Amino acid sequence: MPRRNPRGRVAVVIEVSELTKSYGGSVAVDHLSFTVRPGRVTGFLGPNGAGKTTTLRMILGLETPASGTATVSGVPFRSHPRGLRHAGALLDAHHVHGGRSATAHLSALARSNGIPRRRVDEVLEEVGLARVAKRRIGGFSLGMKQRLGIATALLGDPPVLLFDEPVNGMDPEGVLWMRRLFRRLAAEGRTVFLSSHLMSEMENTADDLVVIGRGRLIAAESLADFAARGTRPGVRVGTRRAAELTAVLTAAGASAAPGRAKGTSPDETGADTLFVTGLPADRIAALAHEHHILLTELTTHNASLEDAFMELTADSIEYVAGETR
Ligand SMILES: Nc1ncnc2c1ncn2[C@@H]1O[C@H](COP(=O)(O)OP(=O)(O)OP(=O)(O)O)[C@@H](O)[C@H]1O
């Protein structure tokens, strides 16, 4: 039964339920369930290899799940008769015929999807490619290809938009433009779902987050709720005598945990990093001084969204520099 919004219009949601997919015995997506709501930008986050692209491809019916379902406004995307007019997607910006012009590429798609020709010029204008519309796509930069991919997604003026790593290859001006575009599309009531492996890209763009790691759901909540997980203030302390300092700080009522990301080396001074909670920086400095322990770093740390993301996904990172799992 399709959901309806307060104005009585069908609210187009993406619903993923117990979705599972394996490749050659290794699980890429593992009993994944979440809902993406209209009128909001939802960020789909996870480290490299987490299963984001595979999930997006299953939502679009380009990949068949081993089990579970993915529906767009209540029906599997492939059984929807409106195609590009129902959902637009940017998956792989390179996956276009390089010998054609942007206009020819979009015109062919418009024709096969029953979309009026005028939309081609409108979307080219919208993404800033109108001036290069007649040039061969093969000569486009990655950023220009991303813009063309977005133009393709917008062509059918669809209520649902899915973008896989749209910010890849964009320059800072392009990133800002994209952020504003996503916000506007959501403000128009559309369902906007975009993937990224970088939290920083979502910080000023997303309203909601779906975070996955190793194919499994880690969090599905508002950005504000997610951020609240990361508000653990503390002090980062560098020292070559981490064990001694930990004992001193613990005796004074603080907690000290190794502060380095898994698999990274001590810094160039040979010092280790501790993340200390429960004592302010000046007190830590005084205790270290009292015990003649030299500190190489003392930084008060207001935990950020990035920290919440790193903490939550630390165990699901597939490849860690210098370490084989
Ligand atoms: N066609 C395929 N054949 C074999 N393995 C695959 C295939 N597609 C994906 N995988 C594997 O499935 C897992 C999930 O990959 P996926 O591309 O969905 O992750 P992702 O979160 O999009 O990663 P990234 O951020 O690196 O793009 C990875 O381990 C990947 O190697």
Specify the number of domains making up the chain.
2
Q: Are residues 134 and 239 in the same domain?
A: no
Task: Please name the residue whose Cα sits nearest to atom 2 of ligand 1.
Answer: 23
Distance 20 CA to ligand 1 centre (A): 13
User: Does residue 174 have its Cβ closer than 6 Å to ligand 1?
Assistant: no
Which position has the token pair 């195609």?
83
Which position has the token pair 């009026």?
116
Mean pLDDT of 45-53: 91
Distance 162 CA to ligand 1 centre (A): 17
Look up residue 264 and give its DSSP letter.
P
Question: For 296-319, what is each residue's pLDDT tens digit?
Answer: 999 887 656 777 787 777 776 554
Contacting residues for 131 by C-beta, under 8 A, at least 6 apart:
none
User: Does residue 50 have its Cβ closer than 6 Å to ligand 1?
Assistant: yes
Answer with the one of 222, 255, 277 that is the final residue of a domain: 222
The proportion of the chain whose per-residue pLDDT surpasses 90, expressed as a percent, equals 58
Q: What is the β-pairing status of strands 40-45 and 14-23?
A: unpaired
Question: For 74-104, what is each residue's pLDDT tens digit?
Answer: 888 887 766 778 889 998 766 777 789 999 9
Q: Are residues 289 and 192 in the same domain?
A: no
Distance 215 CA to ligand 1 centre (A): 9
Q: Are residues 70 and 173 in the same domain?
A: yes
Q: Are residues 272 and 136 in the same domain?
A: no
Mean pLDDT of 144-166: 94
pTM equals: 0.76
Task: Please name the residue whose Cα sits nearest to atom 26 of ligand 1.
Answer: 48
Q: What is the β-pairing status of strands 87-90 and 160-164?
A: parallel
